[in-house]
Amino acid sequence: MARRKPLSAEEAEKLFATVDETGHANPAEAERERESRRKFGVGRAVDPLSGLDPSGSNVGTVMARASVLLVAAFVAVIVLTQVSSGCVRRDATAALANEANLHTVTVALEDGVEWGSGFTQFPQDFTVQEADQATGVIEVSVIDTRYATEVEALAASQIQAAALSVNALMNPQINEVIYKVNVHVDDEGNLLHATLFDFLEPAGQVKPFATFTWSKQVTEAGDISLSCSITGIDAETTARLRDLITGADTPLLGTLGTLGVGVSAGDEAQ
C-alpha cells in the first residue's frame, strides 16, 4: 500500500479550517452530532490549546467547593446534635419535676439534666433503687470511674447529686433524694479510673464512696427549705481527702461551704 503524502502546512491549515465545533469536517456528520447533543446533552467543552485549563476542568475550584461543603455539613451535624441533645435533656428535666418514677429517673440519668446555665451528666453505670411519689423518695446508686483522686470524685459527685436532687425536689410529691456513689479501688485502696478516653473501664474492687442525701421541708405558706448531708465516707477515704486538701490548693472546701453542705465521716473516722 502506498503511503499518503504528508500534508503541507497550508493543506493542514485548510483542512482544520473546515472542522466546526463538533469536530467534524463533513457537514452531514456535524449535523448528526448537533442533533445528538440537543437530545442527550454534551459535556464541558475541552480546549486543548488552553494554557490555563487544558483538560476543561478546574480541580482547585472543585476541591475548594467540596471542602467548604464538607465543613458546612460537619458543622450542621454538630449543631443539630447539640440542639437535639439540649431538647432531650430539657424534656428529661421537666419530666423529672412533673412525675418521678423509674422511667423518668432512668431517662434523666441516661441523658443528663439541665443545671445552671449548662447541663450535668451522670456515670453510665447506675441503678435506680427507688422512685416512688407515694413514698416521696428517689434513691439511686452510681459507680463513678472518671476521677483519679478522692477530692475530684467528691466534688464531682456533689454536683451530680445536687443537679439530680434539686430538679427532682421541685416535684411536689418528692421530699428526699438519696444519691449513692461507688468507686473502683485497687488492693491498696487507691482510686481506679477509666483510661483510653474512658473506653477502658477499671477492673478493681467496687466500694462505697459517699452518700448524698438531699431533703426538702415545706412550710404551710409553701416555702421550701433544702438541705444536704454527705455520709458514709470511711476513715481511709477521710484521711486521703485530708492529705489532698492540706497538701494542695483545692477549691473543694470553698465549694461545699458555698453550697451549705456539712461533711460527716464514718464511724471509724469519729
Identify the three-state secondary structure at position 192. strand
Split at pLDDT 50, 70, 90, the class of 259 is: very low
pLDDT of residue 257: 47
- The grid coordinates of residue 172 equal 411536689
C-alpha dihedral (134, 90, 146, 243), degrees to nearest 10: -70
Which residue, 161, 167, 172, is CA-closest to 91?
A: 167
Nearest to 98 by CA among 139, 52, 133: 133
What is the average per-residue pLDDT within 104-125? 89
As a whole number, mean pLDDT of residues 68-81 equals: 81
The pLDDT, as a whole number, for residue 162 is: 95
pLDDT digit string (tens) for 3-58?
677 777 777 777 666 666 666 666 777 777 777 777 766 655 555 555 555 555 56
Return d(Cα 131, Cα 125) in angstroms, integer.
Answer: 17
Name the helix (H) or strand (E) containing 84. Answer: helix 59-98
pLDDT tens digits, 175-223: 999 999 999 998 888 888 887 766 778 887 899 999 999 999 999 888 9
